Amino acid sequence: MPVPTTIEAPGTDAQSSALTSMPLESAKTAAQTPVYWLGESAQSVYLYREFREAENRGDPITTAISAMTTEQPLDDDYFNPWQPASSVAASISPDGVITVDISADAFSRPLDAGMARRAVQQLVYTATAAAASSGLISQDEQIQVVILVDGHTGYRAFGQVTLGEPMVRDASLVAPVWVIDPQDGTVFKGHKVTINGRGTARDSTLGWEITAVGDTMSRPVAEPMTGSVKLGQDHAGAFTFSVTLPKGNYELRIFQGDPGAKRSQQQFVDSKDFAVT
């Protein structure tokens, strides 16, 4: 999608059970590189993550940050405000502080203060995710990230955010509803489809909808399948459920709202296209 450079409205409240923290990625996910993107929802902009195949840049954090500046999201509902960085380097101190040194050309797109803050957090989330998923840091640690630009502190990222001091993940910027799996474009070999993600909601319940789209390879679902899923009781709001589907192409939507709600009434929607073969 086109990259917005401003945030026109503060957005709708993400509901009372907002995430108090965002757990780090598991080391079990080390086969691919975690990269965070931005996406619009309810007139605001939030963080979403994808796992990607990425060119090895020598260490997991450098690889992830380089991918973040040079690649685009698989999901066309997300966007990337960064420009390709001509140089990226990363290190971790003995006390677990990640230092990222990135070139100034990565910040060349003009952003307002709200978008700049989110873009910087995109880097913080990507760096810490890469360190955790590769086993370089413990999931129990509160990881800090120091961002240098061409080796120096004090750079004004996008002309808005002063860098150089330790930063941590801002949980308020994580999407209120976030589908982790399937990623956009996933192909399931078999009729069972397992869906998982994270979210917030007043009653700890999210609605979901699965619709057959385009040409299908067998009899399509005549009407959208709908249902609800309970969020986990931990601070992370995890959810998971499974459905059985015939062969075909589908759109999944998960949202705050009642199952079967009209699309205009669904809040904080995250959608994914996937196929069953």
95 vs 82, 142, 252, CA distance in Å?
Answer: 29, 11, 42
Per-residue pLDDT of 210-254, as tens digits, reads 999 875 544 445 578 999 999 987 656 889 999 999 999 999 999
**Tokens 């509902």 identify what position?**
77
Residue 169: closest CA among 136, 198, 131, 129: 129
Output the pTM of the full model.
Answer: 0.87
| Axis-axis angle for helices 113-133, 60-70 (nearest 10) | 140
Q: Residue 214: what pLDDT?
A: 77
247-273: buried (b, 16+ CB within 10 Å) or exposed (e) per residue?
Answer: ebbbebbbbbbeeeeeeeebbbbbbbb
Q: Residue 10: what pLDDT?
A: 47
Domain ranges of the chain: 27-173, 177-276
Q: Residue 96: what pLDDT?
A: 86
Name the strand (E) or helix (H) holding 274. Answer: strand 267-276
Q: Residue 40: what pLDDT?
A: 92
CA distance 121 to 76: 20
For residue 5, the 8-state DSSP code is -
Q: Residue 270: what pLDDT?
A: 95
Q: Using 70 as the pLDDT threshold, list the residues of the chain that sit under it.
A: 1-2, 8-24, 26-31, 139-141, 215-222, 234-236
Q: Residue 137: what pLDDT?
A: 82
Q: Residue 1: what pLDDT?
A: 63
Q: What is the CATH code for 177-276?
A: 2.60.40.10
HSE at residue 101, side-chain half, CA atoms within 13 A, is 9
